Structure 1
Amino acid sequence: MSFWDTITGSDLTREWKAFEARAAALPADYQEAWTQIKGNLFAYGDFTGRNLMPILDAALGLLEEASTEGQSVREVLGDDIPGFCAALAGGEGARTFRDRWRQQLNRNVARKLGRLGG
């Protein structure tokens, strides 16, 4: 990956297109599960989403493998896709970008109040 790719995000675009091409080859019920997985994992991404790429690759690989083995989506993911995604992203209670932003805001406010009050 070149510096230019990193700055522009073109490496992510290529990788994302490859994911979508792989997902298009899946049966319809797996494609729907892929859409739900993407939607649920975005909350765990950083600003660029770069940290999610290995997780998305592994999830898509799991769907591909299960599809070739003839398993149903429910057998693979269970009934709780948001819970499955939370587990992929680091377990139940994993911090989302909202949690990180809230913590950063609280730190900044506390720092400012400390300067004003001291």
Structure 2
Amino acid sequence: MGIQDIIEGKKQWRAHTARVKALPPDYQIVHKEMQRYLFKVGPVDLPDGPLLTGIVDFFEEGVAAGKGVLELIGNDVAGFCDDLVKDCPTYADVYQESISGEPGTVEK
């Protein structure tokens, strides 16, 4: 990863945060909780993947439709996040696979 990649990544992250800050306060709170949850248990490709941007797109559409954030995702934020990443490999999956091998064997 070169310096240009780092700079571009920071620009993209700042643009993402600016979009989140433009959302109503209740959407911002839920987004922050979703982000916290997803960074703990979420997919391996979360930082580089389209998931976080897609959530902001979804929230912006909800705001435009005049809906509250809980009308969009329901009362169980963690459950909603789990449904989003159910088919994606997570860090927990990677860890589980790494310890599931027999001791003293080399994985291919």
TM over 0.5: yes
Q: Which has the higher contact order (CA 8 A, sep 6+)?
A: 2
TM-score (norm 2): 0.80
More helix by percentage:
1
The equivalent of 2:98 in structure 1 is 104
Give the CA deviation at 1:35.
0.4
For 1:84, the equivalent position in structure 2 comes to 80
Which whole-Å CA distance do the structure 2 matches of 1:89 and 1:48 have between them? 10
Q: Specify every segment of 5 or more residues in structure 2 that has no aligned partner in the other structure, as ranges.
A: none
Shift of 1:15: 1.7
Q: Identity, % of aligned pairs?
A: 26
Length-normalised TM-score, structure 1:
0.74
Larger gyration radius, structure 1 or structure 2: 1
Structure 1: gaps spanning 5 or more residues: none
The one of 55, 64, 71 equivalent to 2:67 is 71
Once residues 77 and 3 of structure 2 are traced to their aligned partners in structure 1, the CA distance between those partners, rounded to angstroms, is 32
Aligned length: 105
- Assess, with a 3 A threshold, how the Cα gap between structure 1 residues 85 and 4 changes in structure 2: closer, same or farther: same
What are the residue-to-residue correspondences of 1:25-40 with 2, within 5 Å? Answer: 25-40=22-37
2:90 maps to a residue whose letter is T
Distance 1:90 1:103 in 2: 17
Matches within 5 A, 1:41-52: 41-42=38-39, 43-46=41-44, 49-51=47-49
1:30-86 Cα offsets, whole Å, 9 max, x none, are 1101101111211213277323xx011111101111012110111101011111111
